[in-house]
Chain A
Amino acid sequence: MGLWYSISGVLALLLLVLIGVGGIRLYSVFGIFIPYLAVILFIFGFVYRVLKWASSPVPFHIPTVSGQQKSLPWIKADSIDSPYTTGGVVKRLALDILLFRSLLKNEKVELEAPHRLLFRTSTLLWLGAMAFHWSLLVVVLRHLRFFLEPVPSALVVLQRLDSILQNLMPIIYISDVILLIALGYLFFRRVIYPQVKYISLPSDYFVLLGIAGIVISGILMRLIYKVDLVQVKEWIMAMLRFRPVSPKGVNLFFYVHLFFVSLLAAYFPLSKLMHMPGIFLSPTKNLRNTSRNDRHVNPWDHEVKVHTYDEYEDEFRDSMKEAGVPVEKE
């Protein structure tokens, strides 16, 4: 059910931009106003959400330990999965953020017989997630060339590497191809695997379809409905100088591309996409497993009612004396 809501939602938005630009020619709405608004919503929303998390304290020291603790000197401690130094925590986070190490541990459980389990390593999700996020990063980095003047040489190198196959095919970026395949995988696993389908919400499909809209319109602009990139860059530079003009020499696909980017940017802070900054704050990941040697203070710690020893002895004094257990008051 969620799937169809999302598909129709994305199609409606597509129609909106097609009519808005192609039909009633609202160039400055879609070319200036919406992108500005989206950037503002993105920045403020993003910062607001992160500050909101940061404003809630971490009352207890709760790292998820996944390796041997540092205890006796002759027992080898796991410096990453049970980090005991800040360096260890950084490594643990870096491995998770850059290589999705936790997903790499994934395994699938199946019933081999009615009461017999089979564990299979399952790296497909890891592969799909890695392919998706890394190719997305390359695509985003490539786009920086529109925002920077002069274009840094590192970006030029990245672009060259990414288009290394162009001798064989029309100018196509490797990252685009991988991104599309990965998106397809992430989308279809939500449709095909019954359990993943069961947990998926309309917003889960919506995000994937929205990104697909961006990628497909971008690829079409590159391959078939070419736009004048010099004009695009001029439009961006003007936007950055706050002297906006509507882009010229561009076709409808550019507006579709831009509209979906704006949508996703504005939606980002409202959505699960906030997992990007969130992981840095995750208290199960970013704390050292040194809970017994470094005291952790709870900022909202409050007094609680306790049953004191005196109260206890008052109730059980006779019993204690009978048993010959020492008491405070005879």
Chain B
Amino acid sequence: MSEESVKDKPLKIDYTPPAKSWLEPAVDFRKGNYGYPASSKHEMYLGLENPREWHPPEKDWKLPKDWKEIILKGMEDRLSRYRSFRLFLDICVRCGACADKCHFFIGSGDPKNMPVLRTELLRSVYRKYFTLSGKVFGKLAGARELTEEVLKEWFYYFFQCTECRRCSVFCPYGIDTCEITMMGRELLNLVGCNINWVVEPASNSYRTGNHLGIPPHAFKSTIDFAIDEIKEITGIDVEVPINRKGAEILFISPSADYFGSPHWYTFLGYLLLFHEIGLDYTWSTYASEGGNFGFFHSADLAKRLNAKIYSEAKRLKVKWILGGECGHMWRVIHQFMDTFNGPAEFLEEPVSSITGTHFDNAKSTKMVHICEFTADLIKNEKLKLDPGRNDKWKVTYHDSCNVSRGMGLLEEPRYILQNVCNEFYEMPDNTIRERTFCCGSGAGLGSDENMETRLRGGFPRANAVKYVQEQYGVNLLSCICAIDKATLPPLLEYWVPGVEVAGVHELVGNALILRGEKERTTNLRGEPLAQGEPLDSPA
């Protein structure tokens, strides 16, 4: 396996650019650096273009005969539909400020991972076919013919971008490579070039409601399992309503929360919290996925998947929607959902029935982030918390790209953390908040076959974690993104052994003192509590 070969020898990072000009397309599909192509079964289920069996390292990609016309027409179409696309292709001055802002460049040294060059891969083709200077001056103006080699390069590098928007923060014009990558992927889709870890989860979400393809009875049994586990840990019976009509709130979270690890403990945290405050809410099996893998494919597929949330809210006649810990799910909800599938006039402006707080910032979309919700509960002293139950952990917080740069949710999770744990340490300023580094596995890159790319992309994040580990003995990285929770553990195991990953609401669940609970002897992971236990002092 590629993963093992990577672990055997340390990754080399060299920032010296190669001698050959980037204008010459060259891509080497080395194992560990690309995702497997989308399976035709799932492409067909979703009705996507050119479903077939193919493999990137092979010469023949089985493209449609008129693939070039398709791409160029698709480009023209998108230039007229997206101002961002046309503008960002036109105004870059190649100042290079973005170059060392991309985690993939920092971890690989591959110059085509500099945001400016990632975009030039597409921009060069734009110049050739859509600009006067490119048509007249050709290569001198940085214009390139669209060839199969160029297309292969697009595939390689647009699936080596996690759409994290960090470059956009540093660009003097706000050029957002995420927009370019999204367009690049849309164009690749037109000729059937996408990866399976985007298409299969999207197809599963479309059919079963969640990306793991979990049918309703399995969803129900996993919830029953959680109820049992909570009973064991706290002695409390929690009720978990599913598809209940007339609830006040529909709760949507990424499906990994109820199937992945360490997501699971965050899931327990939600259930404890909702029980304790007596929230009138429901889960849904039809909309059992907050994450939107369609977003990594195309705007249309994102919209198709996102439609379920409002449609289910309408069917269940809820008043508003609460959303769990997830990164790109929140980018879609914050910046796209209302436009995609709104207006949600059948819903009401969100008001916390526990504190009476009006969430004015969600007046139109009518969906509130759980960190906003919980921070409000804590501020209004509606929760009894014992941060000592998290004393096992020295905690740091990883801002997920999408909730920071796509939303600006920075202080809410920090406020919660400061109330639920005693030792909290920030990573260096260059690596948090709007400058946060991606986990390196978002936007559909979180599969195993591209492990080298992931480890390289995650290196800057891991490097900052290592810093707080050495400085303060940090042993827990908290975050509010399902992809982070899935992909940071192997990343940290490689770069910073000894640091675990947890969701913020796992720590809330640990600290939360429930009415009528038995004395807790373990945290939600079933590990003995460090404090108040006669048999502690494990060190």
Q: Per-position contact with A for B157-176: 1 when CB-CB < 8 Å, else 0? A: 00000000100111111111
Out of B79, B308, B362, B431, name the residue touching A56 (CB < 8 Å): B79
Q: Is A67 an interface residue (CB 8 A)?
A: yes
CA distance A100 to B16 in the complex (A): 28
Q: Which residues of A contact B (CB under 8 A)?
A: 1-2, 5, 49, 52-72, 74-78, 81-82, 96, 100, 102-103, 105-109, 111, 114-117, 119, 125, 129, 193-204, 270-272, 274-275, 278-279, 281-285, 289-298, 300-301, 304-309, 312-313, 315-316, 319-320, 322-326
Contact B303 A304 (CB under 8 A): yes
Tally B residues with Cβ within 8 Å of A: 121
Which B94-129 residues have a C-beta within 8 angstroms of A? 94-97, 99-101, 106, 111, 114, 116-117, 120
Report the nearest B residue to A201, measured CB to CB: B142
Contact B172 A279 (CB under 8 A): yes
Least CB distance, B377 to chain A, in whole angstroms: 11
CA distance A309 to B245 in the complex (A): 14
| Residues of chain A with a CB closer than 8 A to B379's CB | 72, 74
Which B371-408 residues have a C-beta within 8 angstroms of A? 372, 375-376, 379, 404-408
| Residues of chain B with a CB closer than 8 A to A290's CB | 361
Q: Per-position contact with A for B338-372: 1 when CB-CB < 8 Å, else 0? A: 11101100000000000001011111110100001
Contact A72 B22 (CB under 8 A): no
Contact A304 B406 (CB under 8 A): no
Least CB distance, A18 to chain B, in whole angstroms: 23
Q: Which residues of B contact A (CB under 8 A)?
A: 10-13, 15-17, 21-22, 47, 79-87, 90-97, 99-101, 106, 111, 114, 116-117, 120, 131-133, 137, 140-142, 165, 168-176, 179, 206-209, 215-217, 219-221, 242-245, 285-286, 299-300, 303-304, 307-308, 311-312, 315, 333-336, 338-340, 342-343, 357, 359-365, 367, 372, 375-376, 379, 404-412, 415, 428, 430-431, 433-435, 459-460, 463, 495
Q: Which of B21, B83, B407 has the most chain A CB atoms inside 10 A of its CB?
A: B83
Contact A193 B96 (CB under 8 A): yes
| Residues of chain B with a CB closer than 8 A to A71's CB | 359, 361, 372, 409, 412
CA distance A72 to B215 in the complex (A): 37
Report the nearest B residue to A111, measured CB to CB: B13
Contact A292 B367 (CB under 8 A): yes
Out of B94, B220, B404, name the residue touching A272 (CB < 8 Å): B94
CA distance A293 to B309 in the complex (A): 18
CA distance A77 to B206 in the complex (A): 37
Contact B176 A64 (CB under 8 A): yes
| Residues of chain A with a CB closer than 8 A to B242's CB | 325-326
Report the nearest A residue to B172, measured CB to CB: A102
Least CB distance, A188 to chain B, in whole angstroms: 13
Least CB distance, A254 to chain B, in whole angstroms: 28
A-B contacts, 12 listed (Cβ < 8 Å): A60-B339, A103-B170, A115-B13, A119-B430, A275-B91, A284-B175, A284-B179, A292-B365, A293-B361, A309-B315, A316-B216, A325-B243
Report the nearest B residue to A284, measured CB to CB: B174
CA distance A54 to B364 in the complex (A): 26
- When A and B form their complex, which 4 residue pairs have the shortest distance between CB atoms, in order from nearest? A69-B408, A278-B91, A323-B220, A284-B174
Contact A199 B111 (CB under 8 A): yes
Given the interface contacts A60-B336, A272-B94, A300-B81, does A72 sit within 8 Å of B375 by beta carbon? Answer: yes
Given the interface contacts A198-B22, A279-B91, does A66 sit within 8 Å of B216 by beta carbon? Answer: no
Contact A304 B243 (CB under 8 A): no
Contact A67 B408 (CB under 8 A): yes
Out of B340, B376, B430, name the residue touching A72 (CB < 8 Å): B376
CA distance A276 to B92 in the complex (A): 11
Contact B311 A308 (CB under 8 A): yes
Contact A272 B315 (CB under 8 A): no
Contact A291 B430 (CB under 8 A): no
Given the interface contacts A109-B106, A272-B94, does A203 sit within 8 Å of B339 by beta carbon? Answer: no
Least CB distance, A69 to chain B, in whole angstroms: 3
| Residues of chain A with a CB closer than 8 A to B407's CB | 65, 69, 289, 291
Contact A292 B334 (CB under 8 A): yes
Contact A295 B342 (CB under 8 A): yes
Contact A102 B169 (CB under 8 A): yes
CA distance A203 to B127 in the complex (A): 13
| Residues of chain B with a CB closer than 8 A to A67's CB | 408, 410, 433-434
Contact A292 B408 (CB under 8 A): no
Out of A306, A315, A320, name the residue touching B308 (CB < 8 Å): A306
Out of A53, A109, A284, A285, name the residue touching B86 (CB < 8 Å): A53
| Residues of chain B with a CB closer than 8 A to A64's CB | 165, 168-169, 174, 176, 405
Report the nearest A residue to B298, measured CB to CB: A304
Report the nearest A residue to B102, measured CB to CB: A109
